[in-house]
């Protein structure tokens, strides 16, 4: 069935529909317009009411607009593909499986992408994205631009490429995360992470990468404000350029072109055998 150039409002106007294509349709104020549906294709549509896509299967959304009123628009849905779409609504994507997003702009991404599995994203921007992707897993991201704090907390099995992440407290309590060729700006990066791997990345922000287990850094650079790093971490780091300061790493090695200060005090944890090596002399306290 195809619906073209129509408007709907109120409660559940297209409830439990199957094999439906909607084109240039507007969903006005109301709730759950397309709940418990399957095999839905939406193109050039506008969504204004709350919870339009809940408990659905096999949904494709192209060139659509989700206005602010369409909050929590897509939850408990399997097999979603979204392309060339503007999302103003907050709290998108919750408890979902198999998501593909391409050229999607999330302008209010607060509490977005929670408890989701098997996610692929390309050319996505996420603004105001506090707590982005919390408790999600099996994620592949390429060219993500993210602005918002506390991203990826408790997430696992993530690969990120060619991205810009402006985010305080990113990757806390994560497991099995690899980031390639990206910039991560923000304080307290990667605390309590397990198996975080950063390859050709640039890191800024104070006290990065503390309490980490199995941290690996390859050909990374660090900003001047990335001080007091690696406290209580097991780390294997090859840094290009300078590190401002290192504090009480637990084990492994840290190699850099230069290190401004190494702080090893009575609070260091055993085995306290991290090799800290610079190409020029370092200051130790």
Residue 43 pLDDT exceeds 60: yes
**Domain interval for residue 38:** 1-84
Q: Distance between CA atoms of 74 and 50, rounded to whole angstroms?
A: 10
Phi, psi for residue 196 in degrees, rounded to 5: -90, 130
Residue 281 pLDDT exceeds 60: no
The percentage of residues in the chain with a pLDDT greater than 90, rounded to a whole number, is: 97
Co-location of 136 and 247 in the same domain: yes
Co-location of 78 and 195 in the same domain: no
First to last CA, the chain: 73
Residue 284 pLDDT exceeds 80: no
Residue 3 pLDDT exceeds 90: yes
**Tokens 């690969």, residue located:** 159
Over residues 190-231, the pLDDT tens digits come to: 999 999 999 999 999 999 999 999 999 999 999 999 999 999
Co-location of 204 and 172 in the same domain: yes
Over residues 237-247, the pLDDT tens digits come to: 999 999 999 99
The reply to whether omega before 60 is within 30° of 0 (cis) is: no
Co-location of 144 and 269 in the same domain: yes
Domain boundary among 25, 59, 84: 84
pLDDT of residue 186: 96
Phi, psi for residue 186 in degrees, rounded to 5: 155, 155
Residue 168 pLDDT exceeds 70: yes
pLDDT of residue 282: 59
pLDDT of residue 283: 60
What total of structural domains would you count in the chain? 2
Over residues 222-258, the pLDDT tens digits come to: 999 999 999 999 999 999 999 999 999 999 999 999 9
Mean pLDDT across the stretch 78-92?
A: 97
The contacts of residue 277 (CB under 8 Å, 6+ apart) are 253, 254, 255, 256
Co-location of 171 and 36 in the same domain: no
Mean pLDDT across the stretch 1-11?
A: 94
Q: Grade residue 280 by pLDDT with cuts at 50, 70 and 90.
A: low
């Amino acid at each position: 069935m195809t619906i073209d150039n129509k408007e709907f409002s109120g409660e559940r106007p297209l409830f439990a529909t199957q094999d439906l294509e909607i084109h240039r349709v507007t969903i006005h104020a109301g709730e759950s317009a397309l709940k418990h549906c399957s095999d839905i294709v939406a193109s050039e549509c506008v969504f204004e009411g709350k919870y339009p896509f809940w408990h659905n299967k096999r949904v494709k959304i192209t060139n659509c607009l989700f206005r602010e009123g369409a909050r929590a628009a897509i939850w408990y849905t399997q097999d979603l593909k979204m392309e060339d779409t503007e999302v103003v609504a907050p709290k998108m994507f919750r408890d979902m499986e198999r998501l593909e997003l391409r050229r999607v702009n999330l302008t209010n991404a607060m509490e977005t992408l929670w408890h989701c599995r098997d996610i692929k994203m390309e050319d996505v921007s996420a603004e105001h994205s506090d707590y982005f992707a919390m408790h999600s897993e099996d994620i592949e991201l390429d060219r993500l631009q993210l602005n918002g704090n506390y991203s990826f907390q408790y997430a696992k099995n993530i690969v990120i490429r060619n991205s810009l992440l402006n985010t305080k407290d990113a990757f806390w309590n994560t497991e099995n995360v690899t980031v390639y060729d990206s910039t991560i700006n923000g304080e307290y990066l990667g605390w309590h992470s397990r198996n975080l791997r950063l390859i050709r990345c640039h890191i800024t922000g104070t006290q990065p990468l503390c309490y980490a287990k199995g941290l690996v850094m390859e050909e990374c650079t660090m900003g001047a404000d990335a001080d007091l790093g690696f406290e209580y971490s097991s780390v294997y780091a090859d840094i290009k350029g300078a590190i401002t300061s290192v504090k009480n790493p637990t084990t492994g090695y840290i190699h850099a072109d230069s290190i401004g200060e190494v702080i090893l005090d009575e609070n260091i944890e055993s085995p306290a055998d991290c090799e800290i090596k610079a190409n020029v002399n370092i200051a130790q306290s």
